[in-house]
A and B are shown apart, each in its own frame.
Chain A
Amino acid sequence: MDVIDVIVKIITWPPLWQLVVLGLVAPLGVVVGILWFERKTAARVQRRFGPLHVSPRIGGAIQLIADLMRYAFQEIIIPKTVDKGVFLIAPLTALVLSIVPVVAVPFTSVSHYWPIPMEYSVLISLALSTISAIFIVLAGWASNNKFSIIGGMREAYMITAYELMIILAILSVSAMTTSYNFVDVVLAQTGGKWFIILNPLAFLAAFISVLMATSGFPFEIPESENEVVAGPFTEYSGLLYGVNMGAAYIKRFVYSIFITLAFLGGWLPYGPGDGFISGYLIPSLVIIVKATILMAVFSFLRAVYGRYRLDQALDFAWKLLFPLALMGFGLGLLEAYIGLIG
């Protein structure tokens, strides 16, 4: 009994729980499902079947396991011309850094289960989430391959396009609640006053800029397959490539969690109670389910959209998205001023 108690205690220790279970295990599970969903949806909309022959009864769901196994057992080839240290470190650091923001957000209103104090969680989590992109540029640079460098530079350009918009859009909830605390933000949405309804402009801006940040479909520019092979990840193979892709999806998942907390009511309508299950497990599950639905919407776009050129994306970001984010911010301020938010 004692051993199990200790293990449970370790696992449910908030920083570890959020970093490992919510930051790594949950996204991996979600990503496998979402990848399958993405392929099936794109196929469905484009009048195909998608993965099917592996297991026709369940719509080819095992295909993803097969793909994962292929990545896991493939030989990792490190080309002679790359900068070995950076080449190896960049994807791993990107992976770790894309998980880290998870510790800076609350998954419950019970302060006992916060990994860190939450007074400035909106700012801290946003700041942490912006670091990992630089390592994608670094990966492209270290690969010493023209496709990788072009891909890395495109990523660098895209950073200039999305970073400010994400921060502006998500910070507009701080403007609405006059608080940098995600807990306050979520609690202000009690009673169905989700900020997606009160401030759809900011939500739209956040949604599109997250799409840009994670190379989601109309903005899948750094890795666009038919122009630059796999962009920054061209030289990567086997598990390292898997890590790169995993980092991208985890990043999208983490951003989905931010949007869930900021606009989709976080753990609401559930009210966290006492104890681990009611106070921590169920709220985190609610958030993960909402984030997963958001991920599904992101992947649905793949079926509909083509790909913008880099200049079109930058144009779009600064001419349309930036004003949209500002309008969202202004709307938030206005609503706070007239006392719409309790």
Chain B
Amino acid sequence: MVPPKPVPKTKPRRGIFHAFKGNLEALMIGVKYFIDPKRFTLIYPKEYNKLREGYRGFIVLIKQKCINCASCARICPAAAMKMIRIPEVDEKTGKQKVKNWPVIDYRRCIFCGYCVDVCPTEALYHVPYHDVVYQNMAEMYLDLESFQKPPEYKAAEEGIPVRYIVDEERGLVKVPYKEGEK
């Protein structure tokens, strides 16, 4: 097989008028945006981005569904999901025993969602937000209690929800979120 011949890239000849035109065009675009700015800055604490369903945000455990299989801990690529041993009393026999429960360490989690996908009983789910504040690093290692509650979403309490859509004409556009939208 004959290898393809390298074709030298030829620059189109550009004269002074081309440069002048280019400058003028750039200036015109500047003026256009100056007159009609198409801003999409999120004014954060006053507005927040209402993310769509299926967003891989923070993870919550439904303890009733969990069968202690440890699949989530095994698949976790960042070793963020860990199984901890908690002693408890068996309801039927009344004997002492130890069970393994998953807990998450958000200092390590990369929000890949493997744990949610792998769980055989759908005991884990994502909440569609990620802007959660912890006061220190130790707090980010959740215990079994706090792993069952969705984390507090401060921005939603104070701000108004907005959504970003991609518009053919204007590019990225910020629109107010309508109730009930997916």
**Chain A residue, CB-CB nearest to B35:** A44
**Chain B residue, CB-CB nearest to A319:** B16
18-45 of chain A: CB within 8 A of chain B: 41, 44-45
Q: Which residues of B contact A52 (CB under 8 A)?
A: 43
A48 at the interface (CB under 8 A from B): yes
Q: Are B26 and A45 in contact (CB under 8 A)?
A: no
Q: Are A47 and B40 in contact (CB under 8 A)?
A: yes
Separation of A320 and B37 alpha carbons in the complex (Å):
33
Separation of A47 and B38 alpha carbons in the complex (Å):
6
Given contacts A47-B40, A320-B16, contact A305 B26 (CB under 8 A): yes
Q: Which residues of B contact A46 (CB under 8 A)?
A: 33
B27 to chain A, nearest CB (A): 6
Number of A-B contacts (CB under 8 A): 32
**Partner of A48 from B26, B27, B34, B39 at Cβ < 8 Å:** B39
Q: Would you list 28 pairs from A and B whose C-beta atoms are within 8 A, ordered by A residue? A: A41-B34, A44-B34, A44-B37, A44-B39, A45-B30, A45-B33, A45-B34, A45-B37, A47-B33, A47-B37, A47-B38, A47-B39, A48-B39, A48-B41, A49-B39, A49-B41, A49-B43, A52-B43, A300-B30, A300-B34, A303-B30, A303-B34, A304-B26, A304-B27, A304-B29, A304-B30, A305-B26, A320-B16
Q: Mark B103-130, 1 if CB is under 8 A from A, else 0.
A: 0000000000000000000000000000
B26 to chain A, nearest CB (A): 5
Closest 5 CB pairs of A and B: A304-B30, A45-B33, A44-B37, A47-B39, A49-B41
- Interface footprint category on A: 10 to 19
34-83 of chain B: CB within 8 A of chain A: 34, 37-41, 43
Separation of A49 and B38 alpha carbons in the complex (Å):
10
Separation of A48 and B33 alpha carbons in the complex (Å):
11
Q: Which residues of A contact B37 (CB under 8 A)?
A: 44-45, 47
Separation of A270 and B37 alpha carbons in the complex (Å):
36
Separation of A189 and B49 alpha carbons in the complex (Å):
57
Q: Mark A138-164, 1 if CB is under 8 A from B, else 0.
A: 000000000000000000000000000
Q: Which residues of B contact A300 (CB under 8 A)?
A: 30, 34
Q: Which residues of A contact B43 (CB under 8 A)?
A: 49, 52
Separation of A262 and B16 alpha carbons in the complex (Å):
27
A27 to chain B, nearest CB (A): 24
A213 to chain B, nearest CB (A): 19
